Structure 1
């Protein structure tokens, strides 16, 4: 990846919204909501605090995150549409289920 976000910013690849319901009904593209979930593909060095020190970001490359619907700036890089967000726009990190939790 040739993009290196600055400070407390991160680059996210948006995850496409599901276009079928649990019952198998196909939802047209125009009726689907704007995706607000994505995979972090690059992170900045951290937030610069008032005293000049740097706070490391809580998110890391590979995390699946939920973010505000209208947050960030869309960019095109290498033919791919990406989103640059500030860490404060991230609402949650989606934790992956472990095999143990699935078995229970």
Structure 2
């Protein structure tokens, strides 16, 4: 019997807390001596930026075809070992760079 009463009162308390949280997130407005008071509410500004330009979509750059690799992955003959193209540096970012000190 007390279990059901506890469950029902817990549901009612949770429901009221949820309503209070929604009310606080949207904001509360009240007046004190003709002054408007706001709690956690941002007023929407009506400022319009006239000089703001719209962003244009970036056009994809058209790359010319490399004569060495013909824009395809290069492998060592007879293996699955990938190598970077010496001319256009395709797949060069996939390899560690070793600094040689001479």
Give the TM-score taking structure 2 as reference length: 0.18
Higher strand share: 1
Larger radius of gyration: 2
Specify which structure has the bigger relative contact order, considering alpha-carbon pairs within 8 angstroms and separated by 6 or more residues.
Answer: 1
